[in-house]
């Protein structure tokens, strides 16, 4: 049964990665180079600033998907113990890689070829890809947070539950003490 739950978590991570790739592609506006009359290409300062936007959106999406994946993993597989942290980290990295792949495939590709074929006055958008590869680490980082918080702040299964007595009539000795007290 545990293997099925692990496979379900992995499938969820890959599926969320694919959906996140579509979302990443949808929200990022790739900056574009303007082809000049002399065959060169230029980009304005705002376009240069937008180079970072793709990585920033990837991190924001990784934050949301990672935390969601970590919460689901903790609720469904908390009985695995410490290996759950490793499993969630690996599944989150796989989800991030799928997001990167899907977003890259949906976005424009072969920038050099498109730029070479462009006419003066054409705007040629850059490729949708991660420029800061460390952005991929946001996915497992945020995915393990719910697992680590749940394991450190949640109830420990090895400790016995506290036993509370029902409130009932006072014991005879307590009644005698109150009468003679």
- Read off the pLDDT of residues 101-117 as tens digits, 9 standing for 90 and up: 999 999 888 888 888 88
Spatial neighbors of 30 by CB under 8 A, at least 6 apart, are 50, 54, 107, 108, 125, 126, 127, 128
- Enter the DSSP assignment of 120: T
- The per-residue pLDDT for range 44-69, each reduced to its tens digit, is 888 888 889 999 999 999 999 999 99
DSSP per-residue letters across 80-107: G-THHHHHHHHHHHHHHHHHHHHHHHHS
Spatial neighbors of 33 by CB under 8 A, at least 6 apart, are 41, 42, 43, 47, 115, 123, 124, 126
**How far is the C-alpha of 89 from the C-alpha of 108, rounded, in Å?**
30
> Mean pLDDT across the stretch 61-82?
94
Tell me, what's the pLDDT at 152?
86
Checking if the pLDDT of 175 tops 60, the result is no
**How far is the C-alpha of 91 from the C-alpha of 112, rounded, in Å?**
34
- The per-residue pLDDT for range 4-29, each reduced to its tens digit, is 999 999 999 999 999 999 999 999 98
Checking if the pLDDT of 77 tops 60, the result is yes
Tell me, what's the pLDDT at 50?
85
Tell me, what's the pLDDT at 111?
83
Return mean pLDDT, the chain.
Answer: 87
Strand order across the 41-42 sheet? 41-42, 32-35, 123-125
Tell me, what's the pLDDT at 179?
66
Adjacent-strand bridge partners of 123 = 34
Total-model pTM: 0.79
């Amino acid at each position: 049964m545990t293997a099925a739950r692990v496979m379900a978590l992995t499938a969820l991570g890959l599926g969320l990665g694919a959906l996140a790739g579509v979302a990443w592609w949808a929200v990022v506006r790739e900056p574009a180079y303007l082809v000049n009359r002399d065959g060169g290409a230029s980009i304005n300062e705002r376009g240069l600033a937008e180079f970072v936007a793709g990585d920033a959106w990837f991190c924001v999406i990784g934050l949301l998907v990672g935390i969601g994946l970590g919460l689901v993993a903790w609720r469904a597989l908390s009985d695995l113990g410490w290996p759950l942290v490793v499993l969630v980290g690996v599944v989150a990295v796989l989800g991030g890689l799928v997001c990167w792949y899907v977003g890259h495939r949906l976005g424009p590709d072969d920038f050099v070829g498109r730029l070479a074929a462009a006419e003066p006055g054409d705007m040629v958008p850059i490729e949708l890809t991660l420029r800061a590869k460390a952005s991929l680490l946001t996915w497992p980082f945020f995915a393990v947070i719910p697992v680590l918080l749940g394991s450190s702040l949640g109830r420990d299964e090895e400790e016995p539950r506290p036993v509370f007595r029902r409130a009932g009539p006072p014991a005879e000795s307590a009644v005698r003490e109150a009468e003679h007290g």
